[in-house]
Amino acid sequence: MVSRPDYPQLASHLLEEHWGERAELSRLPGENLNFQANLPDGTCQIFKITTNDKSDVELEEAMLKHLLAAGFPVPESSPSRAGQVAVPVTIAGIPGIARVQKFLEGCSWRDVPSTEQLLYAIGNYLGRVHASLADFSHPGASRTHLWDLAAANQHVMGIRLLEEAHQRDTLEHCFHLYRALGLKYLDECPQGMLHGDPNDENILVDGEEVVGLLDVGDCQYGALIQDLAILLAYAFQQKGVGPCQAARLVEGYQAARELEPQESLALLPLILARLATSICIAESRRVNAPDHETWFSHQASTWATLESLLVISPAEMNGLLFGSLDHSDTTSIQQDRSRLIGPSLSLSYDEPLHIVKGRAQYLYAANGRPYLDLVNNVCHVGHSHPRVVSAIAAQAAVLNTNSRYLHAHLTTYADRLCATLPASLEVCYFVNSGSEANELALRLARAATSSHDVLVIDGAYHGNTGNCVAMSPYKFNGPGGAGPSSWVHVVPSPDVYRGEIRDDGAGVGYALEVGRVIGECCAGGGSIAAFFAETMLSCGGQIPLPEGYLKAAFEHVRRAGGICVADEVQVGFGRVGEAFWGFELADVVPDIVVMGKPIGNGHPMGAVITTRAIAESFDNGMEFFSTFGGNPVSCACGLAVLDVIQDEGLQERARLLGSRFLAGLNDLKSRHALIGDVRGQGLFLGFELVRDRDSLEPADVEASRLVNEMKQRGVLLSTDGPLHNVIKIKPPMVLDEQDIDMTIRLLDDALARI
């Protein structure tokens, strides 16, 4: 075993060599080479040797000088015999920078009782330090380091070092809150110079007063709330300090600098992130240097603090810290809903969520907890996207009326939509939902063909109007359904995992089934008006259409005189990644394209785009009019959605993130027999759960349990498919790599428990 260097002895030689001081050195707690130098005359000094090559001693000294000039008791450095404040040295073969600093009298905060008066004083002291540093600047201030709270995500992979699943869940929850509430607001928070590590060893007190602030080695420019979060992370570790006592610290800080609303929202997640970071760094060091006990000696108290904070919801914690408790009654709302709303309108999850806010890829519950939304493809460019919200509000403040008046938004928007489609698709109709759009597409097809019947794919869902339900096997063959109407003909789902045809020629094989059903229809005296095809099946089980299927199926339909309708309500607007529209993946051009859901990012909109010939056949003297379809506000909204998709590169993002998600899901499949199949394209994905990979017995109960387990972990998924055993993933397209990686890790743990 290699013996450790005698650092105090080595440091004493350096102190004597460069400062001419002979002293007895004892190492101080912490990860740095800091020593208390006891001089022969009974006085003390601090001898610091900085060995981290990412440290900026010049920045530290400039900040200390600024604080000293402002009257704050901080360590003052003494020059060496050569007149240098910072001296390059080598200790045990390691290069470093040595400094001698005056010893400050006082007790470490951690060694005294944390009375409410002292907590107030500590908070106020930090607030005054921040105010004093408002005019401080230094070229090296914009930096980062291991403990930078703005970069806490760098430690997420340390979660895997923990053996206990519940501990991994706890840290995942902390970093999830951090990303959803901390990072989301950090850039909007007031910025300034940070101490960087105002912990309970760096704050000196005397009675109820702060008498010193030590160690600015982690100083940097950033959001001021980061310092307050670190301070509170240590306050909560003091004996007898809970939210009510910590509120006094916050009160003291605000007496010097009032917090802005977004800072209060970010505070708890940043506190949790600091504690989680401490654990992850310590676990990493435990692996790399297990004999260095001081690096992870505080793990037990950190865990205890973390777990005590997590039993309090973010909203409740904010109320306790800032005196603004919200008493929203979720139970009462649910009871009122049961009384006032039709019982056929369902709620998601065993324990329904009370959602009060959405932002980007997150939904936020009334208790302040964020949920990563992986099922809401309606809010395509992110919940409450500011550009979309602004466009709606701006136009609503000027004019909203119907389409019987001329307005440039209507034609501009129609032109922009048509530009994304093949040239033959050039005439637009605007409605208010995908259901209305499919209903109109049916009318167009019947007018163009003078035929009545339609073909639909088994498991398909096309909307909630009467005719749309009649065209949706997912509904009419499901609970409460009455089976197919005489004018609706169902073709087999082209499912290469569970269907009858599973080989490389499945696409053409399933298309032959389309031809067969057409033949049966015609033999019975019917004629086909249209073939309605989702370009990737959604309710049918997140099923991509096999290669060659749509092209061959369209040929069969057109030979029979029918119209080919591409239902893009679920997958359009770049979600599939490789193309803007799902039908483009099959290299076909439909006669009618139906749009809904993502078209307005949550604003109620729908559209039908078709050929001029079909549009002219529909112009038979009966006016088509939708009161709200194509109104100026809706068009402004639709234009903003198109702008965001283009400007933020969301189609390419869907392609890249979809590949990452598929890789992660396939890795899970290789390790969890419950996953029978992984499928999809871009950010329209699914994985099917089976109890046996040979018999394909559907694991519907397990799928429901997995969805609810993931909801408990802060990730929203949903089941679908005719057998209710497919987990569907179709998130807002603004999620990021960390969201995907977290989801895969959480699924891994959840699947292991099912």
Cα separation, 384 vs 388, whole angstroms: 7
| Residue 102: count of CB within 10 angstroms of its CB | 14
Q: Which CATH architecture has domain 7-102?
A: 2-Layer Sandwich (3.30)
| Residue 77: count of CB within 10 angstroms of its CB | 20
**Which residues does 623 contact at the CB level (< 8 Å), separation at least 6?**
none
| Residue 249: count of CB within 10 angstroms of its CB | 26
pLDDT of 703 reads: 98
Structure tokens at 260: 């802005």
pLDDT of 28 reads: 87
Q: Where in the chain is the domain with CATH 3.90.1200.10?
A: 107-322
pLDDT of 54 reads: 86
Cα separation, 373 vs 348, whole angstroms: 13
pLDDT of 289 reads: 62
Are 609 and 425 in contact, with CB atoms under 8 Å apart?
A: yes
Cα separation, 401 vs 379, whole angstroms: 24
Cα separation, 366 vs 387, whole angstroms: 25
Decide if pLDDT at 101 tops 50: yes
The CATH number of 107-322 is which of 3.30.420.40, 3.40.50.970, 3.30.420.610, 3.90.1200.10? 3.90.1200.10
Find the radius of gyration of the CA atoms of the chain: 32
pLDDT of 436 reads: 97
Tell me what the mean pLDDT of segment 559-568 comes to: 98
Structure tokens at 634: 């809706």
Find, among 425, 458, 417, the residue nearest to 441 by Cα: 425
Q: Bridge-partner residues for 360, per DSSP?
A: 383
Tell me what the mean pLDDT of segment 539-556 comes to: 97
Structure tokens at 494: 């082209």
Give 300-309 contacts, CB < 8 A, sequence gap 24+: 301/237, 302/237, 302/275, 302/278, 303/167, 303/279, 305/233, 305/236, 305/237, 305/275, 306/170, 306/174, 306/272, 306/275, 306/276, 306/279, 307/170, 308/236, 308/242, 309/236, 309/268, 309/271, 309/272, 309/275
pTM score of the predicted model: 0.92
Please, is 91 exposed, middle or buried when counting C-beta atoms within 10 Å of its C-beta (0-12, 13-18, 19+)? middle
Tell me what the mean pLDDT of segment 290-305 comes to: 71
Query: Is the Cα dihedral 349, 354, 360, 362 positive or negative?
Result: negative
Cα separation, 452 vs 522, whole angstroms: 12
Decide if pLDDT at 223 tops 50: yes
Cα separation, 486 vs 481, whole angstroms: 14
Cα of 314 vs its chain's centroid, Å: 17
Which DSSP letter does residue 181 get?
I
CATH of segment(s) 407-647 = 3.40.640.10
Cα separation, 442 vs 464, whole angstroms: 14
Cα separation, 668 vs 751, whole angstroms: 9
Cα separation, 34 vs 11, whole angstroms: 9
- Residue 184's pLDDT band, with cuts at 50, 70 and 90, is confident
Structure tokens at 467: 């005719």
pLDDT of 1 reads: 44
* Percentage of residues of the chain with pLDDT beyond 90: 92
pLDDT of 287 reads: 76
Please, is 703 exposed, middle or buried when counting C-beta atoms within 10 Å of its C-beta (0-12, 13-18, 19+)? buried
pLDDT digits (tens, 9 = 90+) for 435-448: 999 999 999 999 99
Please, is 310 exposed, middle or buried when counting C-beta atoms within 10 Å of its C-beta (0-12, 13-18, 19+)? middle
Could you write out the DSSP letters of every residue in 63-87?
Answer: HHHHHHHTT-----EE--TTS-SSE
Q: Bridge-partner residues for 102, per DSSP?
A: 45
pLDDT digits (tens, 9 = 90+) for 575-585: 999 999 999 99
Decide if pLDDT at 290 tops 70: no
Tell me what the mean pLDDT of segment 726-750 comes to: 97
Q: Identify the H or E element spanning 567.
A: strand 563-567
pLDDT digits (tens, 9 = 90+) for 313-336: 999 999 999 987 666 788 889 999
Cα separation, 361 vs 613, whole angstroms: 41
Cα-Cα end-to-end distance for the chain: 45
**Which residues does 752 contact at the CB level (< 8 Å), separation at least 6?**
165, 672
Q: Bridge-partner residues for 595, per DSSP?
A: 607
- Residue 278's pLDDT band, with cuts at 50, 70 and 90, is very high
For the chain, the average pLDDT equals 94
Q: Identify the H or E element spanning 709.
A: helix 700-712
Q: Where in the chain is the domain with CATH 3.40.640.10?
A: 407-647
The CATH class for the domain spanning 348-376+650-753 reads: alpha beta
Tell me what the mean pLDDT of segment 478-506 comes to: 95
Tell me what the mean pLDDT of segment 48-67 comes to: 93
Structure tokens at 74: 């901080």
Cα of 667 vs its chain's centroid, Å: 21
CA angle, 657 as apex, 655 and 662 as ends, to 5°?
A: 95
Q: Where in the chain is the domain with CATH 3.30.200.20?
A: 7-102
pLDDT digits (tens, 9 = 90+) for 623-660: 999 999 999 999 999 999 999 999 999 999 999 999 99
Decide if pLDDT at 251 tops 60: yes
Structure tokens at 176: 């999830």
Decide if pLDDT at 663 tops 80: yes
Q: Where in the chain is the domain with CATH 3.90.1150.10?
A: 348-376+650-753
Cα of 52 vs its chain's centroid, Å: 33
Cα separation, 590 vs 448, whole angstroms: 14
Which DSSP letter does residue 370 get?
E
Cα–Cα distances in angstroms (integers) from residue 515 to residues 86, 307, 496, 562, 583, in the given order: 85, 62, 19, 12, 20
Cα separation, 541 vs 687, whole angstroms: 9
3-state secondary structure of 662: helix
Read off φ and ψ for residue 433, nearest 5 degrees.
-165, 165
3-state secondary structure of 488: strand
Least confident of 24-28, 61-65, 297-301, 495-499: 297-301
3-state secondary structure of 450: coil
